[in-house]
Structure 1
C-alpha cells in the first residue's frame, strides 16, 4: 500500500509531519459513500499552505456535504520530492493517502505568481498531463484554479481546464454539483467544460482564441462554442451570513501562522492605486461584532489555540471596531487567549486603539506609509499625511513602544531621487520624535526599521498601465536610500529585484508566457519564492528560448486603449475608472475613500446595490 511506502521514508526527510496527515480536525470519509473527490492543492510547502485561510474555509465547506470529500495537498519539499521520484510515489491527498490522479478535481489556489512552477511540478508528480490539451475526453481529473492571481490566468491558460474567478464559497459547490450530474450522464470533458462556462465566475480558457498584433500586443480575445464574451467574478453578497468553519485542522508541526484566524471584513474602502487586493475584493463588506465573536469563540474552543488573529485588508476600517474589540477582549482575556490585530491604518490609529492593542500585544508596531514624501503618497492615493504619521508614532512612543517598522515601496510611477531620500528623512523624523519624547539618554532600545519592496504593476489597478523600474534603476534607488540614512537607529531591509521582475511578467503576461513557464520548470525551477531556490539565470534562458523579452511585459508603459490579456474578465471595477485614477496619479491628485465619497468605480452597479447602505452589513 502507498501508506507503508510513504512511512518507510519519512524519517529520512525534514519535517515528516508534513506528509502523513491524521491531524486533529482533519476529515476522513468512507470512499464508497463519496460521489465527488476534490484535491485542494496549495503550490507551496505545508508550513505555508496550512496557514492559508482560504484553504481552511473551502476544505470545511466542501466536506460539509456528506457525498463530497475535499483533501489537502501541498508541494513536497525538494528532499521528499526526490524520495517520491525515486520510489515512484505519486502525489497524494493527506486524508486518504491516495493518489490525486484518481480524484475528480485537482484544484489549485493561485496566491502568488512565483509559485507557478510548483503547479507544473505537482501535476507531474501526480502523474497528470501538464498540458490541458493532453488530458483526453474523460471528465476526471478536472484541473481547476482560483484565488487572487486568477484575475489574469493567461500565463497558466494552457495548463488548466478552467478557472474560478472571485469568491469561491458558492460557485465551488455549484461546479461540483454540475460535475456530479454530468458524470452520471456520461458526459465528456469537453461537454462539461462548455456547460461549466455558463456558470457565473467560471472561465474556460480553451473556449477563447487569442490573436496578436505585429508589435506583440493582443489584437482580440474571441469566445467560441457559446462561451460568454466577458466572464464576471463571483461575490458573496451577504458576508455576515457567509459560511465559516467552526473547526480548523491543527497541524502536528509548527506552521507560519499557527493560530485561529477570523475574517472580519472583505474588500477595502481606500483605493490605493498600487494595491490589487483592494480592488479585486470590492465591494466592501463587514461582519457584525456578534458574528466575529461567535466565530472566534467556536474556533478557539474546537482547536485549543491560544491566539486568534482578526483578518482583513484593513482591520481598523471596520465601522464597529471598538465594540467588537471590547466584546472579544472580554472572552480572550478571561480564557488567556492572545488577540492579534494586523492591518492597522495610520490615519485612524488612536490612543484608545493603542490601549486596546497594549492589552493583547506588547511587541513593536508596524505601519505602511508606502512613500517618503507627501507628493508621492498623493500619487499612490495613500491619503495619509506626514502629520498623521508623526501623530501615530507619538501615540506609540508615549504609550511605551520603542520599536516601529515602516513599509515603503520604490520604483513607483513618477518617483524621483528626492522621493527615495524622503524615506530616510521620514524615518529620521521618527527617530528624532522619540528622543523629543523620551529624552536623549533613553534611546538604548529604540529601533526604526524601514522595509522597501520593488513596486510591481498588477492587473485591475490604476497602475496596470505603468512600467516597472528596471534592475539598474532599482539598484540606483537603493543606493540613494542607503546614502540618505544618517542614524544607526534606522535599519533598512531592501528587496531583491530579479524576483520582482519575474513577478511583474507573470502578473501581466499573456498566453505566450506559458512557454517560458514550462521551459523554466523543465530547467529545474521550483520554489521560486524561496531565495535559496530562485535561479533567475534559468528563467532568462527560458525567455531566450521562447523568443520573448521580459521587458515587453514588465518595463514598458501600456497605452490606455491596449487590449490587455485580462480585459475579457470582469472584476466589477471598470477600466474607465482605472484610466481616470491613473490620470489623477500623474497629476498628484488624491481620491477620497469610499465612505467619504463614491469615486464611481462601477462596483455598486454590478453588485446590485449601494456599497454603503443604512444597514452596514448588506451590499
Structure 2
C-alpha cells in the first residue's frame, strides 16, 4: 500500500513548480511541517519563506510534510506507513530536525497526530541522541508556547528569517563537534529568540495559579521576540507554485506588523514595529510573477501601505488579477477596489468588529459608520454587489444595546445597498471574542459561552427574514477550546497528550475533568494584573505598563492614535 502513497505524493509534486530536492547525505534534512492539510499549508506565506531560507543554505535541505486527508489518510491507516515527505517520500522519523509552523491553536492536536503518524516519540523528555530535534515557530509559538512544552524541544519566538539561520548555524556546529543532545539544546537556548522550555521550571500555588518561573542558571531569564528590521532584505513571496491551495494566488507581502493599536489583536502588539516594504522591492517581486497569475497581496492591512495605488497600477499594467488579504475601511482607495473588481472579486469584506460606537472605542478599532458607507459606495461604483462584515460578540462591556446595534447596522447597510441598487448579499461573519496573550485584554475573562451562543442565535433570528442578509457563525465550542489553548499553561500539555491517546480534540474536555481542571479557570477567571502569566517568560518589546495603560484607556472608552515617527509610547522603538 505504501507505493500508492508514494505515487500520490509524486503526483502532487509533479504538479508543482519551484520545489527543491537534494541528493541524500549532502545536506542535513529538515522536515518542515504544517499541521493541517496540503491546500491550507501551501496557502501560508510563512511556510514558503522558511522553506526558501533553509534551502538557500548549502548545508540544509527542507522537505515538506502535511496532515493527510481523505483517501490518503485511509491509505496511511490501512498500510501503517509512517508519514512521508512530499519531496523524497522519506519517513518523518529519519529527519534530523522537525519544524512545525503553527498558526492556529486547534492545530495542536494535528501536531501530535503527525508526530505519532511519523513514528516520532511524542514526549521531548523521551527522545534520545538519535532522535529528531522537534522545534516550532509561527504565531502560536510566539504568543504562548506553554501548552506544547511537553512535545517541542525548542520554540522560535518572533519572525523567523534570521533566527532560523542562527539556529541552524549553532545546531550544525554542535553536530560537527559531536556534542550531546543536552549540550546542543543548551547552546540553542542561548540564541536570541530561541526558547527551550526544558530549561525553565514552572511552580504553581494551591489554586493552580502560576507562582514562579525558574530559569536554569545557564540560559536567559527572558526570551526576546525577534523581528526583521529591514524587511526588504528578505523578499517574501510564493516560492512553490501549486494550483491546489485555498486561494490559488501568487502571494506577495507588502508590509509586516501593524501600528493601529486594536486592543484585541495579538499581531498589532507582537509584530510591531509596522514596516512597509519599499515600492521598489514590491515591484521587483511583482515583475517575477508568471504572466496572468493572480497576485495576492499580504499584510495586516494592505490598504495602509502609503503607495497602495502605485502598487495596484503596476499590477494592472502587467495584466495580473489581484486580491488582498485584508484592508481597512478607513484607508481603502477607489483604485484598490476597482482593481479587485476588475480581477473578478464579487465580495468586499469590511471589519467594523462591533456595531456600536462604544465598543469600537473600547477595542480601539477606529472604524466609523461613515467609513463603511464610503467603502460600499466604492464597491458599488466598481460593480461589486456583495459585502461581508466581520463582527465579534462577547467583547468587554458588551450589553444588549450593543447587540441591537449590530442588528441595526446590518439593516441600515442593507437598506443603503438597496437604495443604491446593490442587489447582492450582505453577509455577517459573527465570531466569539477570545482575549489573547500580549494584548490589553489578556487579563480579562471571556464572556460566558451559553450567553454568547444565545447572542449569535438572536442575531440570526433577528435577521433571518431579510432574504439578502446572511449570518455565518463560528462554532462556540471550537472558539472556547481555542480560548483555553491560547490562554493556557503547561498543565494543558499533559491534557493534550492524554486526549491524543484517546482520539484527539473530542476527548480534551473529558480529560480535563479527570484532572479536575475546569474550563472556567482559563476562560472565566479575570486575572489580576500582578499575576504571573504563562507567557511572561517572553518579551515582545512592548512594556507591560503599556498593556495596563491601554486596558485603562479601554475602560474609559478612549482612543489611542496609531504609531507615528518618533513615537516612544509602547517601548518597541
Q: Secondary structure at the match of 2:349?
A: strand
Match of 2:394 in 1: 411
Kindly indicate whether the alpha-carbon contact (under 8 Å) linking 1:157 and 1:514 is maintained by their aligned counterparts in 2: yes
Match of 2:232 in 1: 240
Query: Which range moves more in the overlay, 22-31 or 275-284?
Result: 22-31
Matched, 1:250 2:218: no
Deviation at 1:9, TM superposition (A): 5.2
Match of 2:210 in 1: 218
Matched, 1:344 2:313: no
Match of 1:467 in 2: 445
Q: Secondary structure at the match of 2:25?
A: helix
Kindly indicate whether the alpha-carbon contact (under 8 Å) linking 1:371 and 1:409 is maintained by their aligned counterparts in 2: yes
Deviation at 1:92, TM superposition (A): 2.1
Distance 1:165 1:411 in 2: 30
Query: Which range moves more in the overlay, 50-59 or 479-488?
Result: 479-488
Q: Secondary structure at the match of 1:543?
A: helix
Equivalenced residue count is 570
Distance 2:250 2:336 in 1: 22
Distance 1:147 1:315 in 2: 20
Distance 2:347 2:305 in 1: 22
Q: Secondary structure at the match of 1:405?
A: strand
Deviation at 1:82, TM superposition (A): 4.1
Distance 1:276 1:558 in 2: 18
**C-alpha distance 43-362 of structure 1, shift in aligned 2 (>3 A):** closer
Matched, 1:80 2:72: yes
Q: Secondary structure at the match of 1:272?
A: coil
Q: TM-score, with normalisation over the residues of structure 2?
A: 0.95
Matched, 1:178 2:156: no
Match of 1:608 in 2: none
Matched, 1:595 2:573: no
Matched, 1:582 2:551: yes
Out of 538, 541, 565, the residue aligned to residue 510 of structure 2 is 541
Deviation at 1:80, TM superposition (A): 3.1
Matched, 1:283 2:266: no
Per-residue displacement from partner, 1:494-544 (whole Å, max 9, x unpaired)? 22100111100100100001111112111112xx6xxxxxx3xx2221111
RMSD over aligned Cα atoms = 2.0
Deviation at 1:105, TM superposition (A): 0.5
Q: Secondary structure at the match of 2:530?
A: coil
Kindly indicate whether the alpha-carbon contact (under 8 Å) linking 1:165 and 1:201 is maintained by their aligned counterparts in 2: yes
Out of 111, 134, 144, the residue aligned to residue 126 of structure 2 is 134
Match of 2:199 in 1: 207
**C-alpha distance 447-577 of structure 1, shift in aligned 2 (>3 A):** same
**C-alpha distance 422-80 of structure 1, shift in aligned 2 (>3 A):** same
Q: Give matches, 1:40-55, under 5 Å.
A: 40-55=32-47
Distance 1:393 1:451 in 2: 17
Match of 1:307 in 2: 294
- For structure 2, the 5+ residue unaligned runs are none
Kindly indicate whether the alpha-carbon contact (under 8 Å) linking 2:224 and 2:538 is maintained by their aligned counterparts in 1: yes
Q: TM-score, with normalisation over the residues of structure 1?
A: 0.88
Distance 1:54 1:501 in 2: 26
Matched, 1:8 2:4: yes
Per-residue displacement from partner, 1:364-395 (whole Å, max 9, x unpaired)? 21101100111111111001112222222233
Which 4+ residue blocks in structure 1 deviate beyond 4 angstroms? 17-20
**C-alpha distance 173-371 of structure 1, shift in aligned 2 (>3 A):** same
Distance 1:180 1:329 in 2: 45
Matched, 1:492 2:471: yes
Distance 1:17 1:422 in 2: 51
Matched, 1:455 2:448: no
Out of 501, 513, 538, the residue aligned to residue 569 of structure 1 is 538
Distance 2:250 2:515 in 1: 45
Deviation at 1:243, TM superposition (A): 4.2
Deviation at 1:7, TM superposition (A): 2.7
Out of 81, 86, 94, the residue aligned to residue 102 of structure 1 is 94
- For structure 1, the 5+ residue unaligned runs are 529-534, 605-619
Q: Secondary structure at the match of 2:514?
A: helix
Q: Give matches, 1:120-159, under 5 Å.
A: 120-138=112-130, 140-150=131-141, 151-159=143-151
Q: Secondary structure at the match of 1:32?
A: coil
Kindly indicate whether the alpha-carbon contact (under 8 Å) linking 1:515 and 1:546 is maintained by their aligned counterparts in 2: no
Kindly indicate whether the alpha-carbon contact (under 8 Å) linking 2:424 and 2:468 is maintained by their aligned counterparts in 1: yes
Match of 1:388 in 2: 371
Distance 1:19 1:510 in 2: 42
Matched, 1:421 2:404: yes
Per-residue displacement from partner, 1:442-493 (whole Å, max 9, x unpaired)? x6x3321111011111111111111112221112212332343363321111
**C-alpha distance 305-43 of structure 1, shift in aligned 2 (>3 A):** farther
Deviation at 1:83, TM superposition (A): 2.9
Kindly indicate whether the alpha-carbon contact (under 8 Å) linking 1:210 and 1:220 is maintained by their aligned counterparts in 2: yes
